[in-house]
Structure 1
Amino acid sequence: MQKPHSINLSFLAFIGVLYSFQSILGAITFQGMPAVFRQSGIPPIQIGFIYLLMLPWIFKFIWAAPLETWRQKKGRRTNWLFLVVNSVAIVMLLLLTLTTPDVGLYFIFILLAIIAILSATVDTALDGFAIKESNALDKNWVNVMQIGGGYLGSIVGGSLFLLLVGRYNWKFAVYAMVVLLLMMLCYVLFQQQSVKELGQKSAKQSLQKTFASKQVQYGIFIVVIAQLGLRLAQGMTMPFFIDYGITLTQLGVIGSIGGATASLIAVFLTGLWVTKKGPGFVLISLLAVQISMYFAFYYFSEKAELTLLQASFLLLSNSACVAASFVALYNLLMRLTSPEQAGVDFSLLQGVDTAIALIAGVISGALVQYLGYQSYFLLCALASFSALVALPLLNKSSSPLKVVI
């Protein structure tokens, strides 16, 4: 029998690959496509509407309970769900090559919407699987693998995708993503026999229990105040670089090489930091870093164009800050979920986070178009400052959060 606190490397690799897979799909949609659309001449206010495709992640908690109840009846259902649903998502991605962004915008939106629904479904099962089985492992390192794998996928689906579009063309970039995703899915197929669900099978999952949980209620409050500034800034960061003279190829090189390195280092170091200081302290500290970052963006937005060095500084620093912030936040949220129905609890918390991202993403385009980048980044800094003031006050209360902040 496995020791409660031993690290199962096969399990860590398995969830890391799957989180990277889901993140590649999401990054193509929410990071790569906005920059490609902008280069194709689509105005910022229309680009913002792509964040409506986050709706499946917002409402996935609705089908999380029946999905998790079905999934946990037999362990092999989890593996086959990952394989079959992700295979359909790859087919939808491949169909993108039938058109181009400048002439097939609505067709692209439909395909990306289908991918979003499929990916949100897999994400629900994967969260439940990873959180529940991490009870027998070192939870902090499982969280590092979760965020690190997801962020690595984000670099591939965002920066590398843009690099391939800029260096070659739209179809080549999509084909490359399809080949990479197929290779990852082959790994999942190969590993499925060696990765088993370690915990006891859960009782019927209940959304009512999730809404009644005090831990989850406080988790929702944390997500709302802590993520507003970060999510608002994410909405138009990539188009910002395009508007300030950085090409897709340059953006792809900086992000895929430097951004990946900075982000993964940040994930690992933040994992160590969380182990020593706790996720709440780390999250509060990183809010101060976020504020500094947004003032840096504000300063450079006064210029007519960015130099490659300036763009590299902003992109790498921001990538590291965002990656570290997600490690701290999601580690905290994992601790607030119930082991009996981790998938349902975490789906609701993640849905709230996605709702913040959706709202911020939609309004970010309008803010930039009507107020400009300077006012936009000042608002991001103000939102993060509000969280920096509010979160420490929770530690003085008698709330359930006192044990994790």
Structure 2
Amino acid sequence: MTSLRIDQFAATVAAGDGVTNGLLFTRSLLRSLGYQSDIYSFSIPAALKGEVLKARGFQDSTCDLLLYHHSMGHDHGPWLLDQQCRKAMVYHNITPPAFFPKDSDLRRYAQLGLEQLRDWRDQFIHALADSPLNQSELVEAGYPHTQTLPLLVDSLRLEGPTTMPGFMARQTGHFYLAVGRLAENKRQFLLIEAFYHLLQLQKDQGQQTPQQRLILVGGTTSEHYAQGLEQYIFDLGLQGQVLLAGKCSEPELRWLYRHARQYWCASAHEGFCMPLLEANHASLPVVTQARSNIPDTLGEGGLLIDSDDPVVFAAACNLLETEPGLRDKTIAAGLRNLQRYERENLKQQLQQWLDQLGLSSSSDGVKT
């Protein structure tokens, strides 16, 4: 007898994107549980050809369950709703439209995504959320059957090879790291100002420190915002000390995590925030503001700051370096936090959820 088929669909995918990594991780779990499983999309970059299949080739007649990943509005709703197989949503959160410039495509598609979230609730037999915040938004949108299951944390991917980025060649001293799209909700401007105040604080205290830099990694979502960051770096006199590095490969990211001094985050809105766990895994202490879903994802694994004041952020970063034992305690707490996301635990939870839907692979002759 053949195993059941559980496929996945996302309107768009991108190499290194958090949602796309979640698709790949979920596929690996499904296949290891004995299910047949493929990923389909309408927009597939060259780097993912072969990994992701064209949506037009999807056959709903052979699919027992289609997992639809929702993270932004799109124009492929008619195709999705036309599929006659059973469907479940995996919700990755949508950044509130107010964070994006008026009349921008980002704002329009964020608003559309929220409308689709509400309008499509009767199309799905169940909805998974990858964080408590996301589950609360599903409930608010009227979804009667929801569950939190963070199908994002692929520990095998975190263990991969490392490569030093070219822009780090001949660089010395300490660097602080932040990873995320250059977009308004990520609030990199607060990190830049915090870095400025940290340098001033260390100077006032007479600390002898090596050369220090702030490395901001991530592609540009908002060109206007990115230009504003460049101007802010200039205004604060931090040229050469703050680098907008753009996107990096997975091996380069792993190298940066493992060689940074601290990981920083000031995002105002995160549905999950995977980089926090990547920092935990690399034994990199985390300093972040306690906004959105960040406290749930990070748990005890870093320093959480209630204030949005960059001076307070800088003081916490300085304390991490000057308070005896605090750095080691923070790193140890981060490693403990990772235990909540162990692969085998997530695999077991996924199978239990599928059992609830009557989709146990063992019922079709495949033992889990």
TM-score by length of 1: 0.26
Task: Give 1 or 2 for the bigger CA radius of gyration.
Answer: 2
More strand by share: 2
TM-score by length of 2: 0.28
Which gives a bigger RCO, structure 1 or 2 (Cα 8 Å, sep 6+)? 1
More helix by share: 1
